[in-house]
Every structure is written in C-alpha cells, then in structure tokens.
Chain A
Amino acid sequence: MCKCALVVLLFPLLSLGAGGNAAPVSSDQAAPAGKDKKFNAGDMIMHHITDSHEWHFLTIKKKDGSEWHATIYLPVILYTPGEGWSAFSYHKLHKAGSYKGYALDSHHKIIRTDGKHFYDFSLTKNVAQLLLSMVLMIALFVSVARRYQRQGIAAPRGLQAAVEVIIVFIRDQVARPLLGHRADRYLPYLLTLFFFIWINNLLGLLPGAANVTGNISVTATLALLTFILMMTGSKRDFWLHMFSPPGVPAAVLPILVPIEFLSNVVLKPFALLIRLFANMLAGHLIILSFMSIIFLFAAMSLAAGIGASIFSVAFSVFVYLLELLVAVLQAYIFTILSALFISETGATHSHDHEHVPATVETKH
C-alpha cells in the first residue's frame, strides 16, 4: 500500500521521461555517444519497465567513446492483413532502420512504411521471459508431482514440502471457503494463477529481467481469464439479483442496476488487472528511481554521487525486500479475489430472507 505513496513520489521522474520523449531521441547505437551525453532517468526507467524487441543486458563504454551492447535480438513476427506473415530478427530492423516494408520510429516502435495497419505477434522480451517461466513452472511442478507418484503418501521432503504448504493453503484457505463444493473445479486454475503470478513476479525482480507482471497486457489477459470464468460460472440468481434486486423501489432501479452491473461485471476484473499491474510497475519504478538518483547526483559532482549511492542502495535494498513480500502478496490477492468474484457470480442462495426483515422494519 505504501507503494501508492511511492508511486506519487515518482511522478516527477516519470514526467521527466515524458519530457525527454517529446524531444527527438537520437539512437544510442547509431551515434557514438560522447562524454557530454546526459543521463536521462526517465528514458532509463521507461526502457526497463516497458517491453522491447531486444533483451539488453549491459552496455560497455569503450575508451574511444563507442559503446558495446550485450543484447539478444528477439524474433519479430508481424501480420499485415492482405500481405500475410513476415518473421525476421529484430537485428535486421535495428541495423538497417527498415526491413520488408517495416521500419522503426523515433521511439523504437515498429511501424509500416506505407502506414498500413498491422498486428505485432513478436516474441518480445516479455514473451521470451513468459516462455522461460513456462518451462520453469512445468519442470518444477511436474517433478514435484513425480515425487508424489513415486513416494505415494509418504511425508513430503525438500521442494515438495515447500510447494505442498502453498497448495494446501490455496486449497483450504482460498478455494474451499469461498467456492465450497465448486472448489475442486476451479482449484487447478487458482493454483496455476497463483504460481504463474508469483514466479513471474519473482523473475521480474531479477536484474536484467523483463517486467512481465508489471505489463498491462499480461495482467489484462489474466483478468480476462478470470472474467471468462466468472461469466461461464454465473448462475441465474446472480443476474436476477442484479437486474431485479428484491426490496428495492422501482424508482431507484434505473440508477441502481447500471451501478451494480458496472461494479460487478466490469470494474471487478478491471480492478484486478490494474492492481497487479500498478503494484509491480510501482516496485520497479521505485528501485529504478533510487538507482537513477545516484547518476543524477553523480552528474553534479563525484562526492554527491558517492553520498547519494549509500542512501540509494540502502533504500533500494529495503524496497527490494518489500518487493519480495509484494510479489507473493499480489499473487495471493489476485488469486483470492479471482476466487471471490467467481464465487459471487456462481452463488445460488437466495437473498430474499435477508431483505424481507429490513423492509418490514422500515415500515414501522
């Protein structure tokens, strides 16, 4: 929660980035950067938190002023209606500036030279990390499951014990109390959701890694899945209660029904996606901002840079530890809220007896 406050602290830095973007940015690769090239905190932060077509690890400045980048160029897959698919390495586009009718704009964004509409299905940095996390998750949990199959009901050991605690927690504290008899149907989804978010949160915290769960596309997809489950699992009672709430005067209905519809059907999944996105983004922003402070102060004087680095490193270590907590907390909250929303739409019990005494009392 303190993250909200910290996000606010960061807005000057974010707007700094916006200011920088307004001016035409020269390609850092093309022109040999001189020593007078200023450190731009906004650009640096934006570069780290947004998706890209290359996986950039580090830049080494050589003595002659030229730069060497340790970068993996990722495949670009594009589809233009009418022209079909084209796939090539981002390196080609990056080196030449334009390739096969596609080009890079000043923001390193792929555009079509003829301005036609196209779809970008590229294996970006985030996708590469998602695939990595997929392999990791499957290897991890399938090996744990093998252990169960081999050892039967023996006491859990090692990794198995660590995973089991969480599985049992999700089952007994999240799924069963909220979903009741439907818990078993949704349990695989909730477990996958929790571990998917948690592992991606943790991977995102690694230096040089992509900010997967801090990307709105990823969280939107997860929220969309929960929304689909909410709708497919919804019962007649839910809709009935929403469109004709018992014990409510007819005059209020035109106001109440849209509000109820909006809050129950639209806002809940939307809040889900924004919450995870904003929390993970904010964590990255704070750590990167603390890092930027070092360079901003160092640009003034060496002593200021050294002084700021002590303060910055201490704070970013603190925020990093906080992020480890937030990583699991946000995964838990996303999971428990998904379970809650699914349980709300699928509730079959009638609210009639709850409202009847209330109306009787108001008549007195």
Chain B
Amino acid sequence: MMELLSILFLAIDGTAQMGAGIGAGLSAIGAGIGVGIIGNGALHSIARQPEATADIRTNMFITAALVEGVALFGIVVCVLILFL
C-alpha cells in the first residue's frame, strides 16, 4: 500500500503536474454542470412534448458536444502543461 502511495506522490510531484490535475478536474466539473443542465432541459422538454423527442435529442447531442468540446480544450491544455 505504501508503495502505491509513494507512486502517487511521485506522480503529483511538481507544481505543473498539480496544476494540470486541478485544471483537468475543473474542466470536468464545468462540463459536468453544462451537460447536466442540457440533459435536464432535454428531459423536461421530452416529458412535456414527447412527439418532439427526435428533434430535442438531436439538438441535445449537438449542444452537449459543443459543451464537451470546451471541456476537452481544457483537458488538452492540461495535457500540454503536463508534457511540455
């Protein structure tokens, strides 16, 4: 167990790596909130208008993908910090 812990400590050794980790976490939080709101809205709309399910689903995917894209930019920046 101590060995694993020491590996983990080694992994987050260095401020850049810590920053990358925190940044990735923040990206995930942002994307989670964004997609949660989209899913919430989409489900409400579908419950209210089940006949428009197909349209709502398509738009939900597009919006979710756009939000996810922003989060993935964050992740990429974090990866760049980690390796450059």
The 10 nearest A-B residue pairs measured at CB: A271-B69, A12-B11, A4-B28, A8-B24, A278-B72, A333-B65, A15-B11, A5-B28, A1-B35, A274-B72
Contacting pair B11 A4 (CB below 8 A): no
On whether A4 and B82 interact (CB within 8 A), knowing A19-B10, A271-B73, A332-B61, the answer reads: no
Contacting pair A11 B69 (CB below 8 A): no
Contacting pair A14 B10 (CB below 8 A): no
Q: How many A-B residue pairs have CB under 8 A?
A: 88
On whether A8 and B25 interact (CB within 8 A), knowing A15-B12, A173-B54, the answer reads: yes
The majority secondary structure among interface residues of chain A is helix
Contacting pair A278 B11 (CB below 8 A): no
A11 to B20, CA, bound (A): 8
The majority secondary structure among interface residues of chain B is helix
Output the least CB separation between B9 and chain A (Å): 10
On whether A173 and B75 interact (CB within 8 A), knowing A1-B35, A7-B24, A18-B82, the answer reads: no
Please, what's the 1-or-0 string for B1-17, where 1 marks a CB less than 8 Å from any CB in chain A?
10110011011100001
A4 to B26, CA, bound (A): 10
| A16: interface (CB < 8 Å) | yes
A337 to B61, CA, bound (A): 10
| A275: interface (CB < 8 Å) | yes
Output the least CB separation between B71 and chain A (Å): 5
A15 to B12, CA, bound (A): 8
B-chain residues with CB within 8 Å of residue A272 when the two chains form the complex: 69
A286 to B76, CA, bound (A): 17
Contacting pair B31 A11 (CB below 8 A): no
| A60: interface (CB < 8 Å) | no
Contacting pair A18 B72 (CB below 8 A): no
On whether A11 and B61 interact (CB within 8 A), knowing A274-B73, A300-B4, the answer reads: no
| B58: interface (CB < 8 Å) | yes
Contacting pair A275 B68 (CB below 8 A): yes
- Could you give 24 example pairs across A and B, Cβ below 8 Å? A1-B32, A7-B24, A7-B75, A11-B78, A13-B11, A15-B12, A15-B82, A16-B7, A16-B11, A18-B83, A19-B10, A19-B11, A173-B54, A271-B66, A271-B73, A274-B69, A274-B72, A274-B73, A275-B65, A278-B75, A279-B72, A300-B3, A333-B62, A333-B65
Contacting pair B72 A275 (CB below 8 A): yes
Contacting pair A271 B32 (CB below 8 A): no
Contacting pair A275 B82 (CB below 8 A): no
A7 to B25, CA, bound (A): 9
Closest residue of chain A to B2 (Cβ to Cβ) is A300
| A340: interface (CB < 8 Å) | yes
On whether A4 and B71 interact (CB within 8 A), knowing A16-B7, A300-B4, the answer reads: yes
Near B by CB (< 8 A), chain A positions 12-30 give 12-16, 18-19
Near A by CB (< 8 A), chain B positions 34-84 give 35, 54, 58, 61-62, 64-66, 68-73, 75-76, 78-79, 82-83
Contacting pair B68 A1 (CB below 8 A): yes
Output the least CB separation between A270 and chain B (Å): 8
A-chain residues with CB within 8 Å of residue B73 when the two chains form the complex: 271, 274
Contacting pair A11 B21 (CB below 8 A): yes
A1 to B11, CA, bound (A): 25
Contacting pair B28 A7 (CB below 8 A): yes
Contacting pair B76 A15 (CB below 8 A): no
A-chain residues with CB within 8 Å of residue B70 when the two chains form the complex: 271
A-chain residues with CB within 8 Å of residue B76 when the two chains form the complex: 274, 278
A35 to B3, CA, bound (A): 18
On whether A15 and B65 interact (CB within 8 A), knowing A4-B32, A300-B1, the answer reads: no
Near B by CB (< 8 A), chain A positions 93-116 give none
Closest residue of chain A to B73 (Cβ to Cβ) is A274
A340 to B62, CA, bound (A): 9
B-chain residues with CB within 8 Å of residue A275 when the two chains form the complex: 65, 68-69, 72
B-chain residues with CB within 8 Å of residue A224 when the two chains form the complex: none
A-chain residues with CB within 8 Å of residue B1 when the two chains form the complex: 300
B-chain residues with CB within 8 Å of residue A4 when the two chains form the complex: 27-28, 31-32, 68, 71-72, 75
| A163: interface (CB < 8 Å) | no
